[in-house]
Amino acid sequence: AQTVTQSQPEMSVQEAETVTLSCTYDTSENNYYLFWYKQPPSRQMILVIRQEAYKQQNATENRFSVNFQKAAKSFSLKISDSQLGDTAMYFCAFLPTGNQFYFGTGTSLTVIP
Partner 1 sequence: GAVVSQHPSWVICKSGTSVKIECRSLDFQATTMFWYRQFPKQSLMLMATSNEGSKATYEQGVEKDKFLINHASLTLSTLTVTSAHPEDSSFYICSARDRDRSSYNSPLHFGNGTRLTVT
Please, what is the minimum distance in Å from the beta carbon of residue 29 to partner 1? 12
Query: By CB under 8 A, is residue 100 in contact with partner 1?
Result: yes
Of 43, 71, 72, 113, the residue at the interface with partner 1 (CB under 8 A) is: 43
CA angle 14, 20, 21 (to 5 degrees): 115
Q: Tell me if 19 sits within 8 A of 112, measured CB to CB.
A: no
Beta-strand pair 24-26/3-5: antiparallel
Give the phi and the psi of residue 17 in degrees, each rounded to 5.
-90, 180
- Residue 52 in the binding site for partner 1 (CB under 8 A): yes
Binding residues for partner 1, rule: CB under 8 A, are 31, 33, 35, 37, 42-47, 50, 52, 89, 91, 93, 95, 99-101, 103-106, 108
